[in-house]
Amino acid sequence: MEERQSKSRKEQNITVESERGPFFRWLDRRTGIDSLLRSALDEPIPGGASLAYVFGSGLLFLFLSQVITGVFLALYYVPSADHAHTTIAYITKEVTAGSFIRSIHAYGSSAIVIVLLLHITQTFLYGSYKGKRELLWLAGCVLFALMLGMSFTGYLLPWDQKAFFATTVGTNILSEIPLVGNALKSLLRGGTEMGTLTLSRFFVLHVFMIPAFIFAGVAAHVYLFRKAGAAGPIQGDAATLEQTTEAFYPRQVLFDIVFALLIICGLGLLAHFAPTELGPKANPADTQYVPRPEWYYIPVFQWLKYWEGALAIIGILVIPGFVALLFVALPFLDRRPERRPWKRPVAVTIYAVIFIGLGVLGGLSHRNDLRDPAVASQLAKQHEDVESFMKTPFEPELSGSSLAAANVALADPLAAKGKDIFEQQACNACHGDAGVGTAAAPKLIGVGAKYSSEKLQALLKQPNSKMTAGGMPATDLKDEDMKALVAYVRSLK
């Protein structure tokens, strides 16, 4: 059979080779693109193409969309506690198509979670993890974990109230881990408290480290999938399936493209008509704020409420750890070749219980929020704050080296008078405004720490040889003006 297949491919090759243009033949001789395309597109799918198989390629499509929109967002984003919120507000409120692209990126993360759950459910129900596919499943589990890491780290980056407090709670969970918990939390935060170093760490994880692992994980996952072959339908006799076997191209490719189009249309409509909002800047001093994580973390958030004190370790670590281990070890535990879900009641029941359980927890969380009047009113107020922040026009951030900062130093009237003298004597011509320095002369900021007032006065009256060589003239001023000038120069910081 293999022989027949390779023979038919060879024949195919000849016909294609002759009907392709000269450029394609030129390219093929140098790159082998023809056989690459062939092996990519002729992947056999037992039982034929199916809409049930679109989720994997849908995830790949979404991941690429996140990479592209993410790279573009980085054109304007600055990962620092001082500027992160301003730059996201700038993207959202001012940059052309900024709100749209940010929304595609933010909703894209939710879309990935949804399609990932569909992908896992399809794989589980079809028993597609069976039959020498343990490593394929493991690679998928690693990708699942990496994706959760992406959504967790990405959530903090806008540095608004929601982001700050949800991440405060999220990182606090780590301290429940015995022995190393607090060390881990500090490592992730870059300190004991949330701050600008936390943001840097989350940024580096979100845009450099986790994506690198995801690329590697996707490569491994796709390679292992091609190595194992498509699993095909859950039942049917060998002869029928063989007859209905179809190549990946064209029908499955078409299905995959249609699914990708559906995803991008859905995201585009959402992004256009209900763009992602941005709340007011994070205020760590706010003690009233009620944080809520992204919707897909709500069930876990609710679950954690039930575990207190000595039992916390069981709820936070032991049970989730056990469920995760069960999930990862699935292809090793379930060795039967049986793939039909109705013949695998135990596995399917456990899967259903976990999913229904998560759904119920999410519902409970929502109900609790509605029933507690204090929480409900605070959540409503937070929602209003977000709405009103979104309505205010973008306010550019005053640069730190600006006038306002410089004027703080001039509370001293003597220094303020000195500033006028500094201008009149045209000291700023060479030493720059506010003594920042120019190509012609060094900066004066910080000289106050190096020289006493008397020494400065002496140097101004009679510059040393190095100063004279640089073009510094002697300053001839009345005593009181000289004092004021020295006071001003010493105030420069």
Partner 1 sequence: MPQINTGSSAGFPPARGGPIPSAARRSFLGVLLAAGAASVGALLSVPLLRFVLHPLLRITTPLSWSEVGRVEEFSTSASPFKKLITVEQRDGWRKIVSERAVYVIKQADGQFAVLSSICPHLGCSVAWRTENNEFLCPCHGGRFAPDGKRLGGPPPRGLDRLESRVEEGMLKVHYQYFRQLVPDKEIIA
Least Å distance, CB 147 to partner 1, is: 22
CB-wise, 194 or 231, nearer to partner 1? 231
Do 292 and 379 form a contact (C-beta atoms < 8 A)?
yes
Beta carbons within 10 angstroms of residue 468's beta carbon: 12
CB-wise, 99 or 151, nearer to partner 1? 99
- Dist. CA 153–CA 167, nearest whole Å: 8
Least Å distance, CB 145 to partner 1, is: 27
- Dist. CA 79–CA 82, nearest whole Å: 8
Do 164 and 155 form a contact (C-beta atoms < 8 A)?
no
CB-wise, 65 or 302, nearer to partner 1? 65
CB-wise, 115 or 441, nearer to partner 1? 441
CB-wise, 292 or 419, nearer to partner 1? 419
Least Å distance, CB 349 to partner 1, is: 19
Look at residues 140, 81, 162, 150 and name the one whose alpha carbon lies nearest to residue 110: 150
Give ∠ CA 25-26-32 in degrees, rounded to 5: 70
CB-wise, 98 or 280, nearer to partner 1? 98
DSSP secondary-structure letter at 280?
S
Between 98-125 and 253-273, two packed helices, what is the crossing angle to 10 degrees? 140
| Rg of the chain taking only CA atoms, in angstroms | 32
CB-wise, 249 or 307, nearer to partner 1? 249
Which 3 state secondary structure label does DSSP give 247?
strand
CB-wise, 250 or 363, nearer to partner 1? 250
Least Å distance, CB 327 to partner 1, is: 23
Tokens of 302: 């609710």
CB-wise, 1 or 374, nearer to partner 1? 1
Which residue intervals of 229-317 are DSSP H helices? 238-244, 253-273, 298-305, 312-313
Least Å distance, CB 306 to partner 1, is: 40
DSSP secondary-structure letter at 284?
T
Give ∠ CA 271-274-279 in degrees, rounded to 5: 100
Report CA torsion sign: 306, 308, 314, 315. positive
Q: Which residues contact 95 (CB under 8 A, 6 or more apart)?
A: 76
Do 155 and 298 form a contact (C-beta atoms < 8 A)?
no
Least Å distance, CB 45 to partner 1, is: 8
492 torsion bin: left (phi>0), alpha (psi -120 to 50), beta (else): beta
- Dist. CA 452–CA 460, nearest whole Å: 12
Beta carbons within 10 angstroms of residue 88's beta carbon: 24
- Dist. CA 405–CA 493, nearest whole Å: 10
Least Å distance, CB 37 to partner 1, is: 10
Least Å distance, CB 157 to partner 1, is: 15
Do 229 and 73 form a contact (C-beta atoms < 8 A)?
no
Least Å distance, CB 261 to partner 1, is: 7
Tokens of 404: 């306002």
Least Å distance, CB 110 to partner 1, is: 19
Least Å distance, CB 385 to partner 1, is: 21
CB-wise, 294 or 338, nearer to partner 1? 338
CB-wise, 73 or 146, nearer to partner 1? 73
Give phi and psi for 445, each to the nearest 5: -60, 125
CB-wise, 237 or 454, nearer to partner 1? 237
Least Å distance, CB 465 to partner 1, is: 20
- Dist. CA 16–CA 377, nearest whole Å: 69
